[in-house]
Amino acid sequence: MKKWLRTCALALAFVASVAQAEDLLQIYREAQKQDPAIAAARSQWEATQERVPQARAGLLPQVSAQGQANANYYDAQFNTNPKSTVSQNYGFGSLVFSASQPLYRPQNVVVLEQAREQVTQSDFTLGIAQQDLIIRTTVAYFDVLLAEFNVELAEQQKIAVSEQLAQAKRNFEVGTATITDTNEAQAKYDQIIATEIQARNDLDRRRSALAAIIGKAPRNLKRIGRGFDPPLPDPNNLDYWVARALRENLNVLFAQSNYEIASLEVDRARAGHLPTLDLVASASALTNSGTTVGDIGGNSRSGLLGIVVNVPIYTGGFVNSRVRETISLQDRARADLETAKRTAVTNAQDGFSGVNSAAAGVKAFEQAVASAEVALQSNILGQEVGIRTNLDVLNVQQNVYSTRRDLANAYFQYMLAVLRLKSAIGNLTEQDLEDLNRRLNG
């Protein structure tokens, strides 16, 4: 009865642990809210949206007003015969309105085009940060799971080695083994203890790495479900994925946009040779209650409407130097674009081959786990009929844990390859995480 109650308690504890476990999608949504890198990317995106209204302001009217009011005191003595003194208090006020409207400013037009391109580029930058968050979160999540498997494997090895050490001691006591056997078993046990400590430290580091992304210590994580058939890329054709990467990879689109901005900067620099034309207007009103020599005051009003032309004749060579500089920067942007394209092709190739090889690895390790579990059942039956020892069973159990860990790693490699292939074509979204999340169970 007590054994039955203990089993029920363990089962209830397991169910409670599963109910509290967090899955991959929950962890990712926490990362969306708490990760400082994605928060910085969003803030940068919001800031970049202001580039267009700032640039457009250079093509719109500029209006200003200036007012002035002064109280003046004047006191003077003159060395005349007799001496004379002049003291005068008077006021002065003015109000001036001025306005200008650019009629022809080619540099400002280019700046507006650049701003629009920068806003488009900011979408690519934010998309890259979002894809990076998905991959970083997934890697950190599965790193924790694999570290947990390593701890469990070390614990299982410790149990087996403990049994080996106890058996060696018993054999030495009855004279069927030497002290060397006992010492070797002790050394192996000590080594396993060190391995377990290392595995637990690694688990702590992995959990800390995940906590740095989600802003808190993660609870129990749901593990990878078994028994699914990992689909291959659709279509399973490398040329298709490479072509899409060249067209849709976000880093390629960012580099293309950067090249367009650099080309516009060349146009902007060359526009430094061109004249500018502005429409200007002003209106002013002046009033005073006197002057330094009398109490005669007055009011006046004036207005102005005209055109201002500015023709650059010689700027000390600045404009020509600026043009040469921007052309060199344009060449660099072109080279960066080519680098981005080559990197995208490499990533697409790696992702494509990674999905195919990882899918084969999953199937192989699933078969290995099935074989290890059959071997374990056979050894358990052999122990019951007396042809296998408890140590034999423990050793086979180690192999089961080891192959399960390898299967979990194969799952991880497959899922990560899928994400990286999607990232290579700029198509990695939260929906892909939802699809992976269905592979998890408690």
Give domain limits for the chain.
23-60+105-136+222-273+316-441, 62-104+275-311
pLDDT above 50 for 437? yes
pLDDT above 80 for 77? no
The CATH class, in words, for 62-104+275-311 is mainly beta
Q: How many CA atoms lie within 13 A of 301 on its CB side?
A: 2
Pick 220 or 380 by higher pLDDT.
220
pLDDT tens digits, one per residue of 301-312 = 999 999 999 999
Confidence class for position 186, pLDDT limits 50, 70, 90: confident
Distance of CA 350 to the CA centre of its chain: 21
pLDDT above 60 for 442? no
SS (H, E, C) the chain: CHHHHHHHHHHHHHHHHHHHCECHHHHHHHHHHHCHHHHHHHHHHHHHCCHHHHHHHHHCCEEEEEEEEEEEEEEEEECCCCCEEEEEEEEEEEEEEEEEEEEECHHHHHHHHHHHHHHHHHHHHHHHHHHHHHHHHHHHHHHHHHHHHHHHHHHHHHHHHHHHHHHHHHHHHCCCCCHHHHHHHHHHHHHHHHHHHHHHHHHHHHHHHHHHHHCCCCCCECEECCCCCCCCCCCCCHHHHHHHHHHHCHHHHHHHHHHHHHHHHHHHHHHHHCCEEEEEEEEEEEEECCECCECCCEEEEEEEEEEEEECCCCCCCHHHHHHHHHHHHHHHHHHHHHHHHHHHHHHHHHHHHHHHHHHHHHHHHHHHHHHHHHHHHHHHHHHHHCCCCHHHHHHHHHHHHHHHHHHHHHHHHHHHHHHHHHHHCCCCCHHHHHHHHCCEEC
pLDDT tens digits, one per residue of 353-366 = 999 999 999 999 98
Pick 64 or 81 by higher pLDDT.
64
pLDDT tens digits, one per residue of 188-246 = 889 889 989 999 999 999 999 999 999 999 989 998 776 677 889 999 999 999 999 99
pLDDT above 70 for 292? no
Q: Mean pLDDT over all residues of the chain?
A: 88
Q: What's the pLDDT score for residue 10?
A: 39
| Dist CA 280 CA 62 (whole Å) | 9
pTM summary value: 0.83
pLDDT tens digits, one per residue of 4-18 = 334 344 343 444 444
The CATH class, in words, for 23-60+105-136+222-273+316-441 is mainly alpha
Distance of CA 439 to the CA centre of its chain: 25
Confidence class for position 2, pLDDT limits 50, 70, 90: very low
Q: How many CA atoms lie within 13 A of 412 on its CB side?
A: 22
pLDDT above 70 for 374? yes
Q: What does the CA dihedral 210, 211, 215, 218 come to, rounded to 10 degrees?
A: 100
pLDDT tens digits, one per residue of 315-355 = 999 999 999 999 999 999 999 999 999 999 999 999 999 99
For residues 126 and 41, the answer to whether their CB atoms sit within 8 Å is yes
Q: What's the pLDDT score for residue 17?
A: 45
Q: What is the mean pLDDT of residues 50-78?
A: 91
Q: What's the pLDDT score for residue 7?
A: 39
Of 36, 207, 231, nearest in space to 133 by CA: 36
pLDDT above 70 for 51? yes
pLDDT tens digits, one per residue of 104-115 = 999 999 999 999
pLDDT above 90 for 173? no
Query: Which residue bears the tokens 């969003």?
Result: 42
